[in-house]
Amino acid sequence: MSTMPIRADQAAIVIPALNESLRIREVVTQALAHCPNVIVVDDGSDDDTVACIADLPATLIRHPQRLGKGAALRSGFAEAARRGLLGVMTMDGDGQHSAADFPRLLDAANRHPGDVVIGARLRKRASQPTIRRIGNDFGDWGIAWACGFRLLDSQSGQRFYPRAVFTLPDVSGEGFVFEAQLLISAARQAGARVIAVPIETRYASSEPGCFRKSHFRLVRDLYRITTHVAGQILTRGGLAAEYRRTRAHPAVIDDPNGEFASFDPSSQVQDPP
């Protein structure tokens, strides 16, 4: 049975925000140019984040105190579900993601209905700080094992979730752990795959003064994600069989223009020629 494609006005862009006054107006303005349903969740900011977007036609949800990124995403998902929307793209409020990628992720979601689409930072990957890249690759390895298939850039905050995924009940984990668990729950409970769409992102190290310091703390947050994911793997049992099954299902890249035609997702991630 065919599935009707999701239109831009049937989806939302959800932006969790914590002290994003430096770039939030630019981010929300660009998001509104691509999607009429923009939901900003202010997670207890103590700067001018809210004032910066007060006059923009975006929906603002405010947490009176900081609850973490997981809670912010849950609030945004709940609002999208209340409106009956069919998909949600998440993106960070610091300007490192581009809302111009929304149509590409939406198109990929329609080519792969029911799957999660990740904006994978494959373009100009060499600009990513080396230690962060190593941490991301390690995270991909563990989360893939828990999902049952390989995937790319599991730490990217730019993702498109179909309704069957963003409405999953009782997804555990707080902070950045929630995003990891959401991929696992999508695979295990909703039968969703994870599709990579190549995007480009910007980093504070390459553009000093343009971005606030990342809220992600590599050692602390990767440890939390790793221990959480390890628990998921261990409780499932059959570790060797699960690992073999994971290795047998390579990562999928949605690349209709052939930009990454020579890229082998089964090998170590590298920039295309």
- Domain borders along the chain are 11-253
- Cα separation, 231 vs 98, whole angstroms: 34
| Cα-Cα-Cα-Cα dihedral sign, residues 134, 137, 141, 143 | positive
Task: Name the stretches of the chain with pLDDT < 70.
Answer: 1-2, 124-135, 202-219, 221-222, 261-262, 264-273
DSSP 34-97: H-S-EEEEEES--SSHHHHTTTSSSEEEEESS---HHHHHHHHHHHHHHTT-SEEEE--TTSSS
CB count within 10 Å of CB 97 equals 26
Q: Which helix (H) or strand (E) holds 265?
A: none
pLDDT of residue 168: 98
- Which residues lie below 8 Å from residue 51, measured CB to CB, with a gap of 6+? 21
pLDDT of residue 271: 42
DSSP state of 100: G
DSSP 102-127: HHHHHHHHHHSTTSEEEEE--TTGGG
User: Which ranges of 112-217 does DSSP label H, i.e. alpha helix?
Assistant: 130-147, 163-166, 177-190
* Domain 11-253 sits in CATH 3.90.550.10: yes
* Beta pairing, strands 59-63 & 38-43: parallel
pLDDT of residue 272: 42
Question: Residue 223: exposed, middle, or buried by beta-carbon count in 10 A (0-12, 13-18, 19+)?
Answer: exposed
- Cα separation, 181 vs 183, whole angstroms: 5
- Cα separation, 242 vs 3, whole angstroms: 31
pLDDT of residue 208: 52
> Whole-prediction pTM value?
0.86
pLDDT of residue 270: 42
pLDDT of residue 231: 76
